[in-house]
Amino acid sequence: MGISDIVYMPAVEMAAAIREKRLSPVEVMDAILARIERLNPKINAYCTLLAEDAKRQAREAEALVMQGGELGRLHGVPVSVKDLVFTKGVRTTYGSRIYENFVPDKDNIVVERLKAAGAIVTGKTNTPEFGFMGVTDNLLFGPTRNPWNLGRHAGGSSGGAASAVVAGMGPLAVGTDGGGSIRIPSSFCGAFGLKPSYGRVPRGPGLPDWQTLSHTGPITRTVADAALMMEVIAGRDDRDIYSLSEIGLEYLSLLDGDLKGIRVGWSPDLSYALVDPEVLVITTSALRVFESLGANIEDAGFELENQGPVFSVIWAVTIASEVADKLEEWRDKMNPQLVRTVERGMNVRAIDYAYAAQARKEFWSKIQPIFEKYDVLLTPTLSVPAFDISTYQVTEIAGVKGEPALDWTPFTYPFNFTGQPAASVPCGWTEDGLPVGLQIVGGRFADATVLRVAAAFEEAAPWADKYPPLD
C-alpha cells in the first residue's frame, strides 16, 4: 500500500485494517509523519509535533495487535488536537506568547477518551490567540494556510485542524467552536466539521472556557469518520456540569442514506446576511441533491434579527474574563485586535451584559418554532470563500462595502447561542478552486439527524476523493 493511499484513508477503514492486520500502526504513523514533515512547512497546520512519541506509541500499538490484545475503537489511528485543548505533558499555548511554555499536567476529557480508544496524538494544531477570531494566525507561530491555495486563509479558530485533515496529515482532528470555529475552517478548507449539541461532548479542563458558547467536536474528511469519533468522545462526564446524560451513543449505525420525507428548510441569508454571489449559486445548487434523495424542501421564509451585536457583547466579555488580568503585563506581546476586544469587554456594563443574555434567550424563542416545522435547516456555512492571507477581514460582499461586509460569519454564531448541532459539508468549489460549505443545522439534541443528513448528501455528492494540489 502506497503512502498516498494511507494518508487519505478514512479512519473507519484505517482502524479496521489495523485490527485485521492488513495495515500496521507503524506503517500508518510513518506515512502520516512523512506527510507532515514534507507539507507542514508550507501550510503551518501543526504548531507542536510529537513525532518520536507518536512513533513509540505506534510500535506499542503494533505489538498489541500481534499479541492479540484487546483493541480500542481507534487503535493506532492518528489524531491531532487543537492548541486550545489540554494535553498532559505536551505544551498548550492557546496561540499566545503568554502560554508559550505552558505544559498541562492533565488531559482534556476528549483527549483522555481518544487515548483510551487507542488513538495516537500526533501533535497540536495552530489556532489564533485564545481562539478569538475566524482566521488562524498568531504572533507565536504565524498563519495557517489553505491547502487549496496557500495564499488564502484556512479559517479559524480550528484552522490548523481543518488544514491538516484536508492535506492528509491525519484523518481525525479535535476542534472547538465558540462562534463557528469548527465550521468556518471546514468550509474554507473543504472538510466535514460537526459542532455537536452543547453538552454532548464534555469539556474541560482548560481555557478558554467560553461559558455556554463553546462546543468541542470532530473535523474529518468523511461523515463516517466524524460519527466514529463522536462515538468515542461523546457522552456524560460529571466533571463537566453541562454534559448531557446519555452514554454509549451510537452514530455509525444510523448513517442511513434514505432521506425520504425528511423536512428541510432552506434559508440563503437568515433574512439579514450578505452572501457572495458564487457562494449563493453553489449552495443553492446543493438543494437539488436533497430533492433527489426524497427530502421535502421549502424556503423557510422566516424573519430573524441579526444576532451579531448581541454575540459581540457576550463574546468580548467572555474573552476579557480569560485575559484581562494579564493585559497590563502582556499587552505589547498580544495581537492588537485581541487587546481591543479585551478592553471592549472590560468596559461592558453589567446591565448591558444582562440585556445581551436576555436577547439570547429571546432568540431561541424565534428559532425553536422553525424546528417544529423542519427536521433540519440548510444555509451557506459562510458568506464568502477563503480570502487573502494578508488580511484578517473582508471589506466587500456582493458589491456592498463597509460595516455590513465585515460580518462574513453570520450563519455560524447564531447556533452557538442556541446550542443546536450544526455541521459544515463541502458542497462545491469556486472557479478559483476554493471549497464552499453548506451548513446543516439540526433541532435540539438532534446530532444523529445532522450526521444522517450529511452522510446522505456525501454519498450522493462525494467530496473526499478531491485532493488539494499539494503533490
Is 157 among the residues known to form the active site? yes
**Neighbour tally for 453: CB within 10 Å:** 26
In degrees, rounded to 5, the angle at the alpha carbon of residue 177 between the alpha carbons of residues 161 and 247 is 95
CA atoms 309, 315, 319, 324: torsion sign: positive
What SS3 state is found at 319?
helix
Catalytic hit among 24, 80, 96, 157: 157
**Neighbour tally for 348: CB within 10 Å:** 16
Is 260 among the residues known to form the active site? no
Q: In this structure, are residues 122 and 79 in contact, taking their beta carbons and an 8 Å threshold?
A: yes
Question: DSSP states of 197-259 as a string?
Answer: PTTTS---SSS---TTT-EEEEEESSHHHHHHHHHHH-S--TTSTT--S--S---GGG-----
Cα separation, 216 vs 363, in Å, equals 23
Residue 297 CA, chain-centre distance (Å), reads 26
User: Could you tell me the CA-to-CA distances from 367 to 17, 126, 273, 335, 444 in Å, in that order?
Assistant: 44, 33, 16, 35, 10
Strand-pair category, 215-220 with 172-177: antiparallel
Catalytic hit among 82, 115, 124, 195: 82
Catalytic hit among 80, 158, 181, 214: 181
By annotation, the residues acting in catalysis are 82, 157, 181
